[in-house]
Chain A
Amino acid sequence: NAGVTQTPKFRVLKTGQSMTLLCAQDMNHEYMYWYRQDPGMGLRLIHYSVGEGTTAKGEVPDGYNVSRLKKQNFLLGLESAAPSQTSVYFCASSPTGEIHEQYFGPGTRLTVT
């Protein structure tokens, strides 16, 4: 099993550009999450999904949109990138919401200039 994969691994955007980050998991997990991690800080939850076709806002959702059209994929979109969105983005999945043991992808390093 590949686990949780993320594409791309690195990306540089100019202010105002848009992009989509793709997360895929092959563990048949119901829950999926997008986090951002800034230097010296823990992870902050952007959006999450409790199943195919559902999404919900986390702690820092502004400036991001998500979609979960297929159970195995969770997309994170930036419609108009801002320098404040420079960060490392992690996707995670978990089999249930109650236990919350999460499996993480390797991360996407995004720089917005």
Chain B
Amino acid sequence: SQQGEEDPQALSIQEGENATMNCSYKTSINNLQWYRQNSGRGLVHLILIRSNEREKHSGRLRVTLDTSKKSSSLLITASRAADTASYFCATGVPDKFYFGSGTKLNVKP
């Protein structure tokens, strides 16, 4: 079974709004990562948060981690049409490295 599961599966917002997507996982982790995938392309690493961190920022991205609830959230502030993509959380070790099924974000201009 998959380690990470994102919610919602799809999200449609207007440009300028904030987008929040969530990830739940099942077992203990060392770190949790978020990736973006534009249509027809490979995944691009966005941000990594370690298990001893609660919040991390990178530009318009804000990631939180709650290890007691085994969940993480990715917030994209002031979204742009170029943010339209699928977003995946991922965690694990080499032989048990899991990606969630992703949140498909559509930012309307």
Known A-B contacts A56-B94, A90-B42; the reply to A100 vs B31 at CB < 8 A is yes
Residue B25 lies at the interface, judged by CB distance under 8 Å to chain A:
no
Contact of A101 among B42, B48, B100 (CB under 8 A): B48
CA distance A68 to B108 in the complex (A): 44
Residue B2 lies at the interface, judged by CB distance under 8 Å to chain A:
yes
Interface readout for A88-99 with B: 1 if CB under 8 Å, 0 if not?
001010000111
Number of A-B contacts (CB under 8 A): 68
CA distance A105 to B42 in the complex (A): 6
* Contact-residue size bin, chain B (C-beta under 8 Å from the other chain): 20 to 34
**B101:A42 contact, CB within 8 angstroms:** yes
Number of interface residues of A (CB under 8 A): 29
**A41:B101 contact, CB within 8 angstroms:** yes
Contacts of B92 in A (CB 8 A): 100
A residues lining the B interface (CB < 8 Å): 4, 31, 33, 35, 40-45, 48, 50, 56-59, 90, 92, 97-107
A to B CB contacts below 8 Å, 21 in the list: A31-B94, A41-B101, A42-B4, A42-B102, A45-B97, A50-B94, A56-B95, A58-B95, A97-B94, A99-B48, A100-B31, A100-B33, A100-B93, A101-B45, A101-B48, A102-B35, A102-B43, A102-B90, A103-B45, A104-B44, A107-B42
Q: Which 3 A-B pairs have the closest CB atoms?
A: A104-B42, A42-B99, A43-B99
B residues lining the A interface (CB < 8 Å): 2, 4, 30-31, 33, 35, 40-45, 48, 88, 90, 92-102
